């Protein structure tokens, strides 16, 4: 797959909640920096995060608005259309019509994501982190 193919597949599989397929886009030793979750290393961390994402959100769409690809690197500016498990939208409570946007940087190696970074304003994601929103399935 080309870099663009991998990036398109990243957002397409995340949008469908096809997490097992999404995981195949990463190297086993992937490294990343995620705005809410922090620094991570290894595919196992992403495997563990899937439960929190799929359980903690009732709706989760990252919709690419602009994609720039250069060789094995890409930057995607996206719009988030999501809600926490209780149905509270991921939004700015003081400006509910303001788009929630962010960006991802990707570096690929041999057709797989080796490094990624997510950048966004954490304010809009407050409903996900709210104590009344369960982030992982009950034990």
Domain ranges (residues) in the chain: 3-121
Q: How far apart are CA 127 and CA 69, in angstroms?
A: 32
pLDDT (tens digit, 9 = 90+) per residue, 2-22? 999 999 999 999 999 899 999
pLDDT (tens digit, 9 = 90+) per residue, 59-97? 889 999 999 999 999 999 999 888 777 777 777 777 777
Provide the 10 A C-beta neighbour count for residue 94: 7
47 vs 8, residue with greater confidence: 8
pLDDT (tens digit, 9 = 90+) per residue, 112-129? 999 999 988 766 566 565
The answer, yes or no, to whether residue 51 has pLDDT greater than 60, is: yes
pLDDT at 93: 73
**Strand (E) or helix (H) holding 74:** strand 73-84
* pLDDT confidence bin for 136, thresholds 50/70/90: very low
Residue with tokens 């195949």: 24
Q: Which CATH class is domain 3-121?
A: alpha beta
- How many degrees, rounded to 5, is the angle at CA 90 between CA 87 and CA 91? 125
* pLDDT confidence bin for 139, thresholds 50/70/90: very low
pLDDT at 128: 60
Strands 112-120 and 26-34: parallel
pLDDT at 129: 57
């Amino acid at each position: 797959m080309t870099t663009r193919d991998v990036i398109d597949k990243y957002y397409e599989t995340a949008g469908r909640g096809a997490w097992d397929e999404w995981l195949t886009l990463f190297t086993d030793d992937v490294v990343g920096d995620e705005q809410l979750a922090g620094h991570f290393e290894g595919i196992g961390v992403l495997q563990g995060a899937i439960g929190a994402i799929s359980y903690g959100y009732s709706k989760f769409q990252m919709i690419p608005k602009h994609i720039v690809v250069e060789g094995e690197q890409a930057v995607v500016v996206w719009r988030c259309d999501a809600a926490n498990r209780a149905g509270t939208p991921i939004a700015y409570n003081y400006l509910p019509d303001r788009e929630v946007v962010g960006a991802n940087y990707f570096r690929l190696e041999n057709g797989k994501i080796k490094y990624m970074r997510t950048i966004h304003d954490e304010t809009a994601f407050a409903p996900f982190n709210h104590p009344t929103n369960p982030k992982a399935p009950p034990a």
